[in-house]
Chain A
Amino acid sequence: MSITTETAAPTSTSPGRKAPTRDRKEAWRRRGPLLPALIFTIIVTQIPFLITLAVSTLDWNIQRPGEKSFLGLGDYQSFAGLDNFVTVFTDERLRTAVLNTVLLTASVVIISTLLGLGMAVLLDRKFIGRGLARTLLIAPFLVMPVAAALLWKHALYNPDYGLINGTLNWLWQLFGAEEGPVVDWISTFPMPAVVTALVWQWTPFMMLILLAGLQSQPADVLEAAKIDRASPMQIFRHITLPHLRRYIELAALLGSVYVVQTFDAIFTITQGGPGDATTNLPYEIYLTMFRKFEYGEAAAAGVVVVIGTIVVATFALRTISSLFDEENA
């Protein structure tokens, strides 16, 4: 696990002495194997977003009769311009959804990155059963997200027979009390309940990336620091952390891009409730589409999510690109 140095040939390697036609033929011969994947990706990922963009400018509710056909895919009412975007930013529910999305993503990413860093530091040192510990730690990330959400909701958070209240009850009885406290975790703390379940799921992801970062530290630098009698804390602050910086950025940014899209956990644990306390944008878009049937608004909210993601993704791409350039230098 380290960033290895790679040596892919730069593109313009064709010697100039060749005839231009041969160059062109060679260029197409090289492009050939790439084209199926490229064309497939363009069709399946780009066209839907263009359609979303177009629908976001329409007044289109499928419960009302529409007069104008949209590419033969359905009939909409009228052209709405930017009205849907005005709705997205003024509608109370959608504004709440935007705020919830930011809150949820930021809490999950920050907490799981810190926890993941702690676990990675622990696992970077050799101890008895380290391999097994690492394997067990990956498990939360591999459990099907819907299964994990149901597990937290019913087996852990349930006020009557969930493991958390059950353990509290057992502890209380152990110390002679009649009964432990009964807390309805999901309705009392809806957002922390969702955040906890997601942190549990995402910490292994952060841990794996940060552990790879730790293990790619040049050993000679660490040894030199030890010979110079730097304390473990000094080594961590002045050598390890700067080295890890890009790995932390990468983990946090990729994590953000994925956690923004959270749908399974909201759908399963809280259905966005109570009220709209845990409704995030993906869930709100789903509701707007399939419960309110406001296609135009759903598309506009989708465009907003894309723009928000692009902002985060730009930073993520920059980090990946710096790791990538280093490898291909």
Chain B
Amino acid sequence: MTTTTETPAVTADSDVGSPPPPSRIRARRRKGKDAEEKVGPFWTVTAWVLTLLFFAPVAWMVLTSLHIEADAASNPPSVFAPITFENYGALFDRDVLPYLINSGIASVVSTLLVLVLAVPAAYALSIRPVEKWTDVMFFFLSTKFLPPIAALLPIYLIVQNAGMLDNIFTLVILYTSMNLPIAVWMMRSFLVEVPVAILESASLDGAGLVRTLVSVVMPIAAPGIAATSLICFIFSWNEFMFAVNLTSVSAATSPIFLVGFISSQGLFLAKLCAAATLVSLPVLIAGFAAQDKLVRGLSLGAVK
């Protein structure tokens, strides 16, 4: 890929043609809007009451996880019971670690694979677009709309015949295909925002595709790549349907640990809440880190 001005020149020109960069418009608009809007205490109180009501189950989950079983199962609820971390210790005694590791492998490896496939694809759909690139975009999107349950039977049959049941690599492949359309759409929406002039000036004379991607595109699109990775990580970490049907012991992921947890006898609410909090923690962290870009991932890049 050279820096010749022949083909991508159209992109560069039209980009220069639209004077202020979108980010500036956005910033100005928000500033003007916020400055004049003052809301009364009623508005603030309503918003906060609803927010806390919505957040209450999460808060209750965390609080219960810090109580002993007897306090957790008391009625009326004992909100101010003494705090303990023993439930979390109990989880590690019950071998939660292999499940967390499996979840980690499935989500991290599949996310890396997604990036390896999606970054070049997004490049070929935005910076140096192939012909009919919109059709390709909508093909990717349409695969996201196919209900995975309808693919479960053939996937189960194939995986079983290949001797790949209860193998973490099976989940890696499935999660990659599950997240690839999202990543392609997200990455493209980030790449088109990079002014072509910057890419042009940064690009290396006579550099091959891999070098262009690694030393020009990736540094510029790094925030987009980070946001995309977090979204893919969230979806893989939380996946349940394939995990419960295609794994049993050695490749079982965190949601499987949670479900298996219930069959035990006696009081288990506090430990259950501890387990639920523990397995949700990575995604809560990833989600809060990516919250500004979350909407773009959820709407498959359609909304920014």
- Please give the residue numbers on chain A whose beta carbons come within 8 Å of chain B beta carbons, in ascending order: 1-15, 26-27, 30-34, 36-38, 40-41, 44-49, 51-52, 55, 72-74, 118-119, 122-123, 125-130, 133-148, 150-152, 154-156, 158, 160-161, 163, 165-167, 169-170, 173, 200, 203-205, 208-209, 211-213, 215, 218-219, 222-223, 247, 250-251, 254, 257, 260-261, 263-264, 267-268, 281-282, 285-286, 289-290, 295, 298-299, 302-303, 305-306, 309-310, 313, 316-317, 320-321, 323-324, 328
Enumerate 25 A-B pairs (CB-CB under 8 Å) in ascending A order. A1-B26, A8-B126, A10-B129, A13-B10, A36-B120, A37-B180, A41-B140, A41-B143, A52-B151, A122-B46, A126-B34, A127-B39, A129-B48, A130-B47, A142-B280, A144-B254, A144-B258, A146-B259, A147-B61, A155-B60, A161-B269, A167-B76, A169-B75, A223-B32, A254-B298
Residues of the A chain whose Cβ atoms lie less than 8 Å from the Cβ of B128? 30
Residues of the A chain whose Cβ atoms lie less than 8 Å from the Cβ of B120? 32-34, 36-37
Q: Are A52 and B154 in contact (CB under 8 A)?
A: yes
Q: Are A48 and B272 in contact (CB under 8 A)?
A: no
A163-B136 contact given A33-B209, A144-B255, CB 8 Å threshold: no
Q: Are B280 and A147 in contact (CB under 8 A)?
A: yes
Q: Are B155 and A313 in contact (CB under 8 A)?
A: no
* B113-154, CB < 8 A from A: 117-118, 120-121, 123-126, 128-134, 136-154
A203-B54 contact given A49-B151, A150-B276, A320-B141, CB 8 Å threshold: yes
Residue ID in chain A nearest B65 by CB atoms: A155
Give CA–CA (A219, B275) in the complex, Å: 46
Residues of the B chain whose Cβ atoms lie less than 8 Å from the Cβ of A119? 50-51, 54
* B13 CB, nearest partner CB in chain A, Å: 9
* 19 new A-B contacts at CB < 8 Å, known A33-B123, A130-B47, A254-B299: A1-B295, A36-B121, A38-B136, A49-B154, A73-B161, A118-B50, A119-B50, A126-B37, A138-B291, A144-B283, A145-B240, A154-B272, A209-B299, A251-B299, A305-B147, A313-B142, A317-B138, A323-B303, A324-B302
* B146-176, CB < 8 A from A: 146-158, 160-161, 173-174, 176
A138-B288 contact given A6-B192, A11-B133, A51-B157, CB 8 Å threshold: yes
Q: Are A219 and B124 in contact (CB under 8 A)?
A: no
Give CA–CA (A1, B302) in the complex, Å: 11
Residue from A129, A219, A286 within 8 A of B245 (CB atoms): A286
Interface size (B, Cβ < 8 Å)? 128
A1-B48 contact given A144-B255, A299-B153, CB 8 Å threshold: no
Residues of the A chain whose Cβ atoms lie less than 8 Å from the Cβ of B98? none
Is B201's CB within 8 Å of the partner chain A?
no
* B36 CB, nearest partner CB in chain A, Å: 8
Is B200's CB within 8 Å of the partner chain A?
no
Residue from B33, B55, B158, B262 within 8 A of A222 (CB atoms): B33
A125-B75 contact given A37-B117, A144-B254, CB 8 Å threshold: no
* B8-33, CB < 8 A from A: 8, 10-11, 14-15, 17-18, 22-23, 25-26, 29-30, 32-33
Give CA–CA (A154, B288) in the complex, Å: 26
Residues of the B chain whose Cβ atoms lie less than 8 Å from the Cβ of A118? 50
9 cross-chain pairs, A with B, having the tightest CB-CB distances, nearest first: A33-B120, A302-B150, A4-B22, A51-B154, A147-B276, A170-B76, A37-B121, A34-B124, A44-B177
Is B88's CB within 8 Å of the partner chain A?
no
Residue ID in chain A nearest B60 by CB atoms: A163
Residue from A140, A204, A286, A324 within 8 A of B57 (CB atoms): A140
Q: Are A4 and B61 in contact (CB under 8 A)?
A: no
Residue from A5, A129, A146, A167 within 8 A of B77 (CB atoms): A167
Q: Are B76 and A41 in contact (CB under 8 A)?
A: no
Q: Are A139 and B284 in contact (CB under 8 A)?
A: yes
Q: Are B149 and A40 in contact (CB under 8 A)?
A: no
Write the B211-222 contact mask toward A (1 if CB under 8 angstroms, else 0). 001000000000
Give CA–CA (A292, B279) in the complex, Å: 32
Residues of the B chain whose Cβ atoms lie less than 8 Å from the Cβ of A260? 147
Give CA–CA (A140, B303) in the complex, Å: 21
Residues of the B chain whose Cβ atoms lie less than 8 Å from the Cβ of A126? 34, 37-39
Residues of the A chain whose Cβ atoms lie less than 8 Å from the Cβ of B68? none
Give CA–CA (A205, B234) in the complex, Å: 14
Q: Are B150 and A320 in contact (CB under 8 A)?
A: no
Q: Which secondary structure dominates where chain A touches chain B? A: helix
Residue from B121, B147, B193, B291 within 8 A of A306 (CB atoms): B147
A145-B54 contact given A40-B180, A48-B154, A209-B295, CB 8 Å threshold: no
Give CA–CA (A243, B29) in the complex, Å: 16
Residue from B26, B140, B149 within 8 A of A302 (CB atoms): B149
Give CA–CA (A30, B124) in the complex, Å: 6
Residues of the A chain whose Cβ atoms lie less than 8 Å from the Cβ of B43? 122, 125, 127
Q: Are B77 and A170 in contact (CB under 8 A)?
A: yes
Q: Are B193 and A4 in contact (CB under 8 A)?
A: yes
Write the B194-218 contact mask toward A (1 if CB under 8 angstroms, else 0). 0000000000000001000100000
* B191 CB, nearest partner CB in chain A, Å: 9
Q: Are A32 and B193 in contact (CB under 8 A)?
A: no
* A104 CB, nearest partner CB in chain B, Å: 14
A32-B209 contact given A8-B126, A173-B76, A208-B295, CB 8 Å threshold: yes
Residues of the B chain whose Cβ atoms lie less than 8 Å from the Cβ of A204? 54
